[in-house]
Amino acid sequence: MSDTKPQVKEAAHSAMVAACDVIGNRDIEHMTEHIVRSITHPDETPELMHELAGVRFVQSVQSSALAMVVPLLLRGLRSRLTATRRQSAVIINNMSKLVDEPIDAAPFLPVLMPALAYAADAMSDPEARTVAENATKQLQKLQEESEKAKLSCKIADHALVKAAVLELIAVPPGTNIEVFASHLAHLCCSLMSLKRFEAERWQEIETYVKVVTGDATSAAVTEALRVRCKEMMRVVPTVIDDGDDAEELCNCQFTLAYGTKILLHNSVMRLKRGAKYGLLGANDSGKTTLMRAIANGSVEGFPDPATVRTVFVEADILGELSHLSCVDYIMEDPKLAGLDRDEVLAVMATVGFREDGKAKPHHAVSTLSGGWRMKLAMARAMLQVGDWDCTMVYVTIDVTTIS
């Protein structure tokens, strides 16, 4: 990427971006291009550190994400600006708490810890130095957990997986059984090491099995092999039994954090169809952030929009649109483009916006109280729901804005 020839430099940059695009972390994938660019433009590091500090994390941090972020954090620790070094230390401290598998962090600790110690010694600000020292303690704790995990780590055993392949798959005469079983076992071991035991992840395995067993039994054989491999790794999912027979809408485990603040870590969310749920918590505990993440579709494991449409209702009157009338404000929403004005007025009337009422459709939104702003947001949400062809509509209301 530092080559003097423009063609080589451009090709190297494109290759690096393509490599980083497969990290699988949606929280920071929008920063890939900027992070790669900062390798050859280190002056952009302070701005990137500030952007990373504002990232909302809804996924746990794995080795692939660390591989992209750690070089940026190292440049932050080596910056001449105390504020940048301090911010880097804060991000390291908090991101390390989002690492579920300590082994994922093991390759990066030998480079992070010396750089963090050096930054702590170089900073004259006592408060910033304390932040760096706290980050060092967190990394030391992570290193201890990593060493323990290495001793007790369950590693996919190729020989055992190969034996399972030979047991479950009847290989036709003339097939090179050793080559086939060994290759399929290697593929299974890769998935096992990544702890990928979802059925859709094993569809590629089925394509190999199908060549030998045919279409009729390939799915059943692959499923049996997946279950056997899962038992070998002793991966037991968390099961919550509340005795309710209602259809399960969502049962996922997620993390919610900003670069400098952890809100929820490995929290379980289980929702059932037809039920109503409330979210309680102190100020700044992440209630609104979680609801926004659900509405934006960034919570991993939550049903996709084809099944569940989510509308987040909050009194979020935009300042640059506050001069508009209530009806025009709603019609400015990009999601409601082309909607008939009479239809908008009819829906607004159902929540109290009438010409003979206290709040009129032609009033400016800047004149509305907090309660009427919420009603206006409700009317907009009702219009967004419309006649969508989906299983259900999930509406989240930010009641913290209601007086």
Task: Return the CATH number at 191.
Answer: 1.20.1390
Summarised one tens digit per residue, pLDDT across range 273-325 is: 778 888 887 777 778 788 888 877 778 778 877 777 777 776 566 666 777 88
Summarised one tens digit per residue, pLDDT across range 61-111 is: 888 889 999 999 999 999 889 999 999 999 999 888 888 888 888 889 999
Q: Write down which residue in 181, 214, 233 finishes a domain.
A: 233
In this structure, are 102 and 190 located in the same domain? no
**201 is in which domain, residue-wise?**
158-233
Structural domains counted in the chain: 3
- Give the H or E element holding residue 149: helix 126-152
In this structure, are 201 and 100 located in the same domain? no
CA distance 293 to 58: 8
Q: Is 126 exposed, middle or buried (0-12, 13-18, 19+ CB in 10 A)?
A: exposed
Which of 334, 403, 344, 400 has the alpha carbon at shortest distance from 376?
Answer: 344
Per-residue model confidence (pLDDT) at position 318: 60
Residue 15 confidence (pLDDT) above 90: yes
- Give the H or E element holding residue 112: helix 109-122
In this structure, are 168 and 98 located in the same domain? no
Q: Write down which residue in 202, 233, 264 finishes a domain.
A: 233
Residue 388 confidence (pLDDT) above 50: no
Q: For residue 286, tell me if it sits in a domain.
A: no
What single-letter DSSP state applies at residue 171? P
Q: Write down which residue in 211, 233, 255 finishes a domain.
A: 233
* CATH code: domain of residue 122: 1.25.10.10
In this structure, are 45 and 141 located in the same domain? yes
User: DSSP for 123-146?
Assistant: ---HHHHHHHHHHHHHHHHHHHHH
* CATH code: domain of residue 311: 3.40.50.300
Per-residue model confidence (pLDDT) at position 265: 75
Q: pTM for this one?
A: 0.58
Q: For residue 257, tell me if it sits in a domain.
A: no
Residue 394 confidence (pLDDT) above 70: no
In this structure, are 11 and 147 located in the same domain? yes
In this structure, are 63 and 194 located in the same domain? no
In this structure, are 202 and 225 located in the same domain? yes
Residue 189, CA distances (Å) to 158, 182, 206, 218 in order = 7, 10, 15, 19
Question: Helical H runs in 234-363?
Answer: 287-295, 326-331, 341-350
Q: For residue 274, tell me if it sits in a domain.
A: no
Rounded to an integer, the average pLDDT of 158-163 is 91
Residue 37, CA distances (Å) to 10, 68, 70, 259 in order = 11, 12, 15, 20
